[in-house]
Structure formats: structure tokens, C-alpha cells
Amino acid sequence: MTPQGDDAEHHVRPPLLRLRGVGRVYGERQALHPLDLDLEAGSCTALFGHNGSGKSTLLRIASGRDTPTSGTARFAGRTVTEDDPEVRARVAVVGDTVATYPDLTVREHLELVTVAHAVDDAQGWIDHVLADRRLSDHARALPGSLSSGQLQSLLLAAALVRPRDLLVLDEPEQRLDPEARVRLAELLVKEKEDGVAVLLATHQAELAEAVADRMIALEDGRVIAEGSPADVLERLGLRG
């Protein structure tokens, strides 16, 4: 969704998302030690690490769902907060938990999102996204009848059916079978080609290598390695 100006190749664009010295403390626990991160339109940064490493905390700060206790988080030059209509309109999030309305069908979930974001040609776009996520045959199904993988695909579909300049995903590969993971990688590459910035937390090295331009490895809230996915995975001893 990020527009590309005629002079794009002649000027260096500022990062769409810029974090400076961002850290987070919960009580006496330092969940995230101060770090910097720049994310440009059309690029992907993958956060890599075990549960509790600080990935989800960083994603919540980047999407405005949490406030850092140190440093600054800015999106398109604005302080990141969920209270900002500009941030809500341009940042799409796929979280690590499945949250659905039990009495709404798959299609009705997507219709709700398109209404909230005033999407043009909503029904046609919903049909496209349902087909893309292999949910067309389940459009009238309620969440309780879906498999865990189908529920994850619904969460992805809800992010895809709305406008977005930044896509924030917390382990989107979880609950997906191998074929669906391949389609997920293809989807995220297409998002980058369309100019969307992608911030991705994952346990899966293959997904990070397939889609990310940069990887940040976290452990106990600290950055332990960063660079290209190949370089980081080599430093972590995860590839030869």
C-alpha cells in the first residue's frame, strides 16, 4: 500500500519504522534490553529466538500495543501508539493467539474488518483473500468448526483484507502444515514486492531465510546476533 513516488530511486527513503533505544521492563524483569531497529518499506526483518527471548514484546511495541519504558518507537515519523488513527489504519497485526467471535462465520469476520477500514469492493476482495488462504470452502463456517491451521489462515486473511503499510506477525507459521508454510513464505515475499514492510517473529529458520532481508536473534531480551539471515544462522551454529 505504500505509494512509490517517481523519484523513489533517486532519494533514500527514511525508515517506515524506527526504534531507538527501545526497552521494556515489567516489574523487576527486563523483558527487552534497549535496542535499535530500522525497517524500510518493501523489506522484512525477522526476529528469531526461543519463547521468552523478547520477540513478542518487541512486536507489541512496534505495533503500538505496548509502550516502551525506555527509548522511542516511531512509525512514519509519528510516535507509535494504538490510540493514533494513522497507526491503526496503516499497521496490520497477526498475533500469537487466536481471537475470534464464535457466532460469526469466516466471511463475516472478514466483512467486519473491511467495514472498519472502509475497503472498496469489499466482497470481491474478500473472495480473493478467501481463495488465497484456501478458505473459500469454509466461508460460511463458524470458528469452532475450523482446524487450528484454518484458524491461523483466518487470522492471516483478516490482515490481508485491509489496507496496510506495515505487517507485524508473531510466529505466523504456527499451526500451519508444510504446504501452508510454503504459501505463507510466498505471500510475505509478495507483500514486500507490493511495498509493505514486514516485521516477523519466528522459530523457523527456513521461513526467515525465505523472506527476511535482515534477522535479529534475541535471547533473554538481548540482541545476540544481527545481520543477514544466513550470517545470523551461521553465528548461531544452525547452518554449516
Per-residue pLDDT at 239: 75
Burial of 148-176, coded b for 16+ CB within 10 Å and e otherwise, reads ebbbbbbbbbbbbbbebbbbbbbbbbebb
The enclosing H or E element of 48 equals strand 44-48
CA distance 109 to 69: 34
% of the chain exceeding 70 in pLDDT? 95
Residue 6 domain-assigned (yes or no): no
Residue 81 domain-assigned (yes or no): yes
pLDDT in tens, 144-183: 999 999 999 999 999 999 999 999 999 999 889 999 999 9
Residue 206 domain-assigned (yes or no): yes
The enclosing H or E element of 20 equals strand 17-26
Per-residue pLDDT at 32: 98
> In this model, does residue 7 exceed pLDDT 60?
no
**89 vs 12: which has the higher pLDDT:** 89
Residue 143 domain-assigned (yes or no): no
Instruction: Compute the mean pLDDT over every residue in the chain, rounded to the nearest whole number.
Output: 92
Q: What is the CATH number of the domain that holds 229?
A: 3.40.50.300
% of the chain exceeding 90 in pLDDT? 88
Per-residue pLDDT at 121: 92
Number of residues that make up the chain: 240
CA distance 221 to 235: 18
pLDDT in tens, 48-62: 999 899 999 999 999
29-38 mean pLDDT: 97
> In this model, does residue 1 exceed pLDDT 60?
no
Residue 71 domain-assigned (yes or no): yes
Domain that holds residue 32: 14-101+165-235
pLDDT in tens, 83-133: 999 999 999 999 888 789 999 999 999 999 999 999 999 999 999 999 999
pLDDT class of 240 with cuts at 50, 70, 90: low
Q: How many CA atoms lie within 13 A of 229 on its CB side?
A: 19
Per-residue pLDDT at 82: 85
| Domain tally, the chain | 1
Quote the Cα angle for 127-132-135, to 5°.
70
Residue 40 domain-assigned (yes or no): yes
Quick one: which of 177, 176, 185, 223 has its CA closest to 205? Answer: 185
Residue 5 domain-assigned (yes or no): no
Residue 107 domain-assigned (yes or no): no
* Predicted model pTM: 0.91
